[in-house]
Amino acid sequence: MSVFDDLAGGLVISCQPLLDEPDDPMRDPYVQARVAASVVRGGAVAVRANGVADVKAIRAAVDVPVIGLHKQGVDGVFITPTATHAVDVAVAGAHVVAVDATDRRRPDGRTFADTVRAVRARTDALILADVSTVAEGVAAVRAGADAVATTLSGYTPASPHRDGPDLDLVARLAALVAVPVIAEGRYRSPEQIDRAFAAGAHSVVLGNAVTSPLWITRRLVAATRRTAAGNSEHRA
């Protein structure tokens, strides 16, 4: 039985501080482990975590699968950019390692398939391919990925940039590959989650909309200011 069987039909919650906020007060393994324990109590079927320290802390705090990754921006490839990063995250305790599987050049000069082989040689962890296009997803499965995720749609030159999730990519991948398709990327509402499952998603990942007070508050403040400005113009 695969770890991914435990994820079927459920929500995976990404417990990560904001990548572009080095001073985010949530940037602490203990804090992220407490957040993870809370979302698991709320019904999350798995947790996605960034970095060796957070993976170790969260693995010790929850009894659901941990999807680990290592975010390090190098030449545009920032989700587990090297085979060494992938192995380190797996050794730290991740049941699944999320790896950038786009067609961009990896900073260690190795291919996605090389990374898959490196993880398999050292650990029992499964591989989740984070992709931005259908072609990348199909290629990742051929290279040995155990599942694919739409995480990078909208973040590469080859994919459409939009405010909401790429439901079309979910549907197209679900129709083409024989492994689980994980819907991830800008999911923020129950309606979007329902649409992802209707499109064929195996599970759905939510992140900032659940676990980042900084992101949530900024979004609400910005909306409030727009509303206030609009009301002022109307009164004028």
Q: Which domains does the chain have, with CATH numbers?
A: 3-235 (3.20.20.70)
The full length of the chain comes to 236
CA dist 183 and 170 (Å) reads 6
**Which 3 state secondary structure label does DSSP give 170?**
helix
Contact criterion met (CB below 8 Å) for 17 and 24: yes
pTM across the whole model: 0.94
**Which one-letter amino acid corresponds to residue 26?**
M
Nearest to 24 by CA among 217, 225, 222, 224: 217
Q: How far is CA 95 from the centre of its chain?
A: 14
If one compares 133 and 73, the residue with the highest pLDDT of the two is 133
List the structure tokens of 165. 């999730």
| CA proximity to 95, closest of 121, 56, 148, 144 | 56
Q: Calculate the dihedral angle through the C-alpha atoms of 124, 129, 130, 135, rounding to the nearest 10 degrees.
A: 180
pLDDT, position 72: 80
Task: Say what the pLDDT of residue 21 is.
Answer: 86
Place of tokens 């990560």: 16
Return the minimum-mean-pLDDT range out of 76-80, 88-92, 209-213: 76-80
pLDDT of residue 70: 97
Residue 201: helix, strand or coil by DSSP? coil
Comparison of pLDDT for 69 and 158, the residue scoring more? 69
DSSP E strands, the chain? 11-15, 46-50, 66-69, 71-74, 77-79, 96-100, 126-130, 147-149, 181-184, 203-206
Q: What is the 3-state secondary structure (H, E, C) of 21-74?
A: CCCCCCCCHHHHHHHHHHHHHCCCCEEEEECHHHHHHHHHHCCCCEEEECEEEE
In this prediction, residues 148-164 reach a mean pLDDT of 93
Which phi and psi angles does 58 have, rounded to 5°? -70, -40
Lowest model confidence (mean pLDDT) among 74-83, 132-141, 202-211: 74-83
**Angle of CA points 197, 203, 209, to nearest 5°:** 95
Q: What is the pLDDT of residues 30-70, one digit of tens each?
A: 999 999 999 999 999 999 999 999 999 999 999 999 999 99
**Across all residues in the chain, what is the average pLDDT?**
94
Q: How far apart are the C-alpha atoms of 124 and 145, rounded to whole Å?
A: 13
